[in-house]
Structure 1
Amino acid sequence: MNAPKFAVSLMCMDFAIAGKQVSTLSQHADSFHLDIMDGHFAPNLSLSPAWLKKVLPNSSIRNEAHVMADDPDMWLEPLADAGVNVVSPHVETLNTHAFRTMNAIRSLGMGTGLVLNPLTTFDSVVPLLERIDILTIMTIDIGFAGQPFIDEMLAKIEQAAAFKAEHGLNYEIQIDGSCSEKTFAKLRAAGAETFILGNAGLFSLNRDLDQAWAQMRANYERTTGETLPAED
């Protein structure tokens, strides 16, 4: 298995100093995870393309938008204009136009992702797996940070990892929800490759984000027994 990757959820940042925090975390993280919510599909509101356009110039790493919206297509051009590199809509919103949306994302020069809610089966996305760069498996219900981890999702992660290996595919298995020292080991054992860090996994560890990152790495290594590559 490849070395793990770590994404940071911008929704959990201090918005008053978001630009500074993005600059700091760009030195450590592999990507930023950008939650876009419409207040309908997800019962909350979060980041907007206009806000991202102001903040993302501080980023020097991959910027991935997680689109929790009834109509993901309407967000594609604004997100591309804001500097997003990968767009990940929810499969639950793509029943009538999944392949058209994937093609639209590619046509705007962005990578493609898909997100599965906890009750959505892995089998439902099999026809699209050859077309995506990232498969995000939710291990909490969408909408709010700080929810308890749903252990039943480990089997879905195992399915995604087994299918990827069996068919020689390249999608990145990313986990969204309660990634922390309490879950790193079981997620990694199931086949997780990228961990999205929020309050529990990063921001609550230390107000100094360089120190918080060092603590997160120590937590990961201690709980998984895996030595992380040295940072550049």
Structure 2
Amino acid sequence: MKIKFAPSLMCMDLMRVQEQVSILNERCDLYHVDIMDGHFVKNLSLSVDFVKGLRQITNLPIDCHLMVTNPEQYIDPLIKAGADFISLHSETISGQAFRLFNKIKQADCKCGVVLNPETSLEAVKPYLNYLDLLTFMTVDPGFAGQNFIAETIKSINEAALWKVRNTYSYILAVDGACNKHTFLELADAGTECFIVGSSGLFNLDEDLNIAYDIMMQDFRQSLAAKK
């Protein structure tokens, strides 16, 4: 599988959305949109209305990451807004997981699940066959710029092995501190989609074209260092 890159748009310059999206439309594979409610995480970020506006200026897939206490309240509005993936936190869907997955898939939308760093892969084992996207947080959810939590590598590698062993179809993604210091370790563990934020992309240069070039150079050099 070709490695994918998904800019985390909460880290972009929100005063230059149209300009930056026009650059990213030519370069990245999909967009990652964090939606927070101030309860599940102590932060507020992007919104359903942001997704609706983004859909009007891009044809790329949009992954909506729901860091919210009641994800069921967001599914219908996000489908209507044009989301391609809806990613639910495993910690918020106990007792309703299969019902929510079916609702998402019946709307011809793709289904994702996100795990916090301390959440065991065993917690999502019953429904891995449902998933189109499986995302591991390698930082605590809610805020950009945190330090990488190395203990997550074991779970990422385990999920990659389970995917091969059981012919699951999910894309294995990582969210948090994806940058030149972690690219190699994450790639070796089986990461297929890097969600890049402040340290991996947006803070590399004020010119987003240059920043993207730096990111790709960092990625290639990281992998080349292993040889």
What TM bracket, shorter-length normalisation?
Answer: over 0.9
Give, in angstroms, the shift of residue 207 of structure 1.
1.4
1:26 paired with 2:25, answer yes
Partner of 1:10: 9
Q: Give the counterpart letter for 1:46 in structure 2.
A: S
Percent of pairs with identical residues:
41
Partner of 1:149: 148
**TM-score, normalised via structure 2 length:** 0.97
Distance in 1 (CA, whole Å) between partners of 2:117 and 2:47 is 25
Distance in 2 (CA, whole Å) between partners of 1:77 and 1:97 is 15
Give, in angstroms, the shift of residue 108 of structure 1.
2.1
Give, in angstroms, the shift of residue 58 of structure 1.
1.2
Distance in 1 (CA, whole Å) between partners of 2:41 and 2:101 is 21
Q: What secondary structure sits across from 1:58 in the alignment?
A: coil
**Where do 4+ consecutive residues of structure 1 move more than 4 Å?**
none
Partner of 2:43: 44
1:159 paired with 2:158, answer yes
Partner of 1:213: 212
Q: What secondary structure sits across from 1:16 in the alignment?
A: coil
Distance in 2 (CA, whole Å) between partners of 1:215 and 1:34 is 22
How many residues align structurally? 225
1:104 paired with 2:103, answer yes
**TM-score, normalised via structure 1 length:** 0.95
Report the more deviating stretch, 58-67 or 140-149: 58-67
Partner of 1:91: 90
Q: How does 1:83-232 map to 2 (within 5 A)?
A: 83-225=82-224
Give, in angstroms, the shift of residue 56 of structure 1.
2.6
Distance in 2 (CA, whole Å) between partners of 1:225 and 1:4 is 15
Give, in angstroms, the shift of residue 19 of structure 1.
1.8
Give, in angstroms, the shift of residue 160 of structure 1.
0.3
What is the aligned-residue RMSD (CA, Å)? 1.0
Give, in angstroms, the shift of residue 24 of structure 1.
1.1
Distance in 1 (CA, whole Å) between partners of 2:104 and 2:142 is 23
Distance in 1 (CA, whole Å) between partners of 2:154 and 2:50 is 36
Distance in 1 (CA, whole Å) between partners of 2:170 and 2:9 is 23
Q: Give the counterpart letter for 2:197 in structure 1.
A: G
Q: Give the counterpart letter for 1:104 in structure 2.
A: K
Q: What secondary structure sits across from 1:103 in the alignment?
A: helix
Q: Give the counterpart letter for 1:206 in structure 2.
A: D
Q: Deviations over 1:58-82 (max 9, x none)?
A: 1221100000111101001111121
Give, in angstroms, the shift of residue 52 of structure 1.
2.2
